[in-house]
Chain A
Amino acid sequence: MISVRHLEKWFDDNHVLNDISVTFETGKTNLIIGRSGSGKTVLLKSIVGLHEVDSGEIWFEDVLFNKLNFTEKKKIRKEMGMLFQGSALFDSLTVEQNIQFPLDMFTDNTQEEKIERVNFCLNRVNLINANNLFPSELSGGMKKRVAIARAISLKPKYLFCDEPNSGLDPPNAILIDALIKEITEEYLITTIVNTHDMNSVIEIGENIVFINEGSICWEGNKNEILHSDNEILNDFVFANALAKKLRNPLK
């Protein structure tokens, strides 16, 4: 469980996170949704400690994460996997080396054990025969899958995904979503996913936080989201013409 209390974050005089308090549950796919620029990435990076917050508390179980020093943070970091918005694979390493990287850094496994784990992770994301390709030789969807494989290579307790399916075609997007949900339930991970894709929301949204201009504007699940009377949320959910048409019969 990850719990966030009264987070505040400023970039100069841009108030990006405004009093964010929310709890993300274990074994569930927790979604953070919101428009582009609403502060989703900043919130996620603040939770994992890549951004220093100005005030507030970030709890991982019963540990106050944002007050730990570098070495103490490192211990918890080993239990985190993160999928970045742009995949962030290491350009100079092959797919295999990318996934092996955290294993090299933090385990004393033999090379065979590492390769076994790498292949297991690649299988898990349905990527075979890509071991020796470089990131520049992969499609966007493949990169995302390699990035997921890298994120789960150390068997994380916490998984963070920043827009895992942006830029993918709908079938592939759904595949990635389903994969994240499956992994979350299978290994009982606390997963937080940033997205502005309504398909994902309806597909995997068990616990949804809607952020608008840096504040939490609505919380709920995928069934409630279609029947809310929050105007700002509805503008977001029923943004496109098709959704608007479908909405009227709902009412």
Chain B
Amino acid sequence: MIKFLTQFGRYFLLLKKVFSRPEKPYIYYKQTMHELVYLGFYSVGIVSIISFFMGAVITLQTAYNTENPIYPTYLIGLGCRDSIILEFSSTISALILAGKVGSNIASEIGTMRVTEQIDALEMMGVNSASYLILPKIIATLLFFPILTLLSICVGILGGWLAGTSAGVITSENFIYGIQYAFIPYYITYSLIKTVVFAFIITSVSSFQGYYVDGGSLEVGRASTKAVVFSSVLILLFNVVLTQLLLS
């Protein structure tokens, strides 16, 4: 318990250090651009693949679970749309990104710690926490919502392709379904969740990496912890945010 509280305190102290005033904004700008590509753009592939298959499966399952003449088939399109927007695109993508981006950040920063690169930065009088972590946080906060929107589109596309090619729904019905009773606020809700998840992934993983003590073994351990802790926090905040935003 005491250990948990200490960790909690260190996490917030680190965040305070991260958000102190940057000394050379231009360098931070350059770093942020780099992280946008590295953490954001390079995740487009995996998010697309996952969303495509997710959308396909959701459509087929909705179809087979509603095989009853009293339900109009366009409900399949509607169901697919809502589950993708409300839950899958933000939460599942976040969990996948926790695995990819989280372990990446933790091992990158952790390696810099054990090879004394962070000491070298501090030695030069650079605020290492801010220099290393702030650009990553900004980049993920900016890019993850784009990934979520992409995931929604690709997911619905996957659903449409799967549904029509399996013959469970016609193209017209599906397209009618995804437009039927559309609530734009759901998109906002999904994006708010994504932003929170992005912050969790980046800050928790950076924290794990920044305080690695030891060698490459500990770096590996930190990157596992980064994924586990951020995933659990994502699931927890998913419940909290859903209650706050949708009730």
| A50 touches B (CB below 8 Å) | yes
Q: Which positions 69-98 of chain A face chain B at CB distance < 8 Å?
A: 73-75, 77-78, 80, 82, 84-86, 88-91
Chain B residue numbers with a CB within 8 Å of A85 are 116
B161 within 8 A of A: no
Q: Does B188 contact A (CB under 8 A)?
A: no
Contact A86 B125 (CB under 8 A): no
Do B124 and A50 touch (CB < 8 A)?
no
Is B125 touching A106 in the complex (CB atoms < 8 A)? yes
Q: Which residues of B contact A80 (CB under 8 A)?
A: 123
Cβ of A124 within 8 Å of any chain B Cβ, yes or no, is: no
Contact with A along B18-31 (1 / 0, CB 8 A): 00000110010000
Chain A: minimal CB distance from B127 (Å): 8
Q: Shortest beta-carbon distance, B35 to chain A, in Å?
A: 11
CA A106 to CA B24, docked complex, whole Å = 9
Contact A88/B27 with A78-B125, A102-B124, A106-B125 known, Cβ cut-off 8 Å: no
How many B residues touch A, CB cutoff 8 Å?
15
Partner of B119, one of A78, A88, A91: A88
- Pick the contact of A73: B23, B24, B115, B125 (CB < 8 A): B125
CB-based contact B115/A45 at 8 Å:
no
**How many residues from A make CB contacts under 8 Å with B?**
22
Give complex CA distance A80, B122 in Å.
11
A117 CB to closest chain B CB, in angstroms? Answer: 15
Cα separation A50 to B117 with both chains bound (whole Å): 12
Report whether B125 and A50 are in contact in the complex, using a CB–CB cutoff of 8 Å.
no
Contact A105 B111 (CB under 8 A): no
How many Å lie between the Cα of A133 and that of B125 in the bound state? 26
- The answer to whether B126 has its CB under 8 Å from any CB of chain A is yes
B120 an interface residue at 8 Å Cβ cutoff? Answer: yes
A104 contacts chain B at the CB level, 8 A cutoff? yes
- Give the CA-CA distance A84 to B119 in the complex, in Å: 9
Highest count of chain A CB atoms <10 Å: which of B112, B115, B126: B115
A104, closest chain B residue (CB) = B27
Q: Which of A73, A88, A106 contacts B120 (CB 8 A)?
A: A88
A118 within 8 A of B: no
Inter-chain CA distance A89–B118, complex, in Å, is 10
Chain A: CB-nearest residue to B126 = A105
**Of B23, B24, B117, B126, which one neighbours A88 at CB under 8 angstroms?**
B117
Give the residues from 51 to 81 in chain A that come closer than 8 angstroms, CB to CB, to chain B: 73-75, 77-78, 80
Q: Is A50 touching B123 in the complex (CB atoms < 8 A)?
A: yes
CA distance A105 to B127 in the complex (A): 11
* A-side contacts of B125, CB under 8 Å: 73-75, 77-78, 105-106
Across the interface, name the chain B residue whose C-beta is closest to A147: B120
Which residues 128-146 in A have Cβ within 8 Å of B in the complex? none
A192 interface contact, C-beta 8 A: no
Scoring B111, B112, B124, B126 by chain A CB atoms within 10 A of each residue's CB, the highest score goes to B124
Within 8 A of A (CB), among B126-165: 126
How far does the alpha carbon of A105 sit from the alpha carbon of B22 in the complex, in Å? 11
How many Å lie between the Cα of A48 and that of B122 in the bound state? 10
Q: Which residues of B contact A73 (CB under 8 A)?
A: 125
Name the interface residues of A100-134: CB closer than 8 Å to any CB of B: 101-102, 104-106
Once bound together, how far apart are the Cα atoms of A52 and B111, in whole Å?
Answer: 22
Q: Which residues of B contact A (CB under 8 A)?
A: 23-24, 27, 111-112, 115-117, 119-120, 122-126
What would 22 A/B residue contacts be, using CB atoms closer than 8 Å? A45-B119, A74-B125, A75-B125, A77-B123, A80-B123, A82-B123, A84-B119, A84-B120, A85-B116, A88-B119, A89-B117, A90-B112, A90-B117, A91-B111, A91-B112, A91-B115, A91-B117, A101-B124, A102-B124, A105-B27, A105-B126, A106-B124
Chain A to chain B: the 8 pairs with minimum beta-carbon distance, closest first:
A77-B125, A74-B125, A88-B116, A88-B120, A84-B116, A82-B123, A88-B117, A102-B124
Q: Besides the contacts A88-B116, A89-B117, A90-B117, what 20 more A-B pairs have beta carbons closer than 8 Å?
A: A50-B119, A50-B122, A50-B123, A73-B125, A74-B125, A75-B125, A77-B124, A78-B124, A78-B125, A82-B120, A84-B116, A84-B119, A85-B116, A88-B115, A88-B119, A101-B124, A102-B124, A105-B23, A105-B27, A105-B126
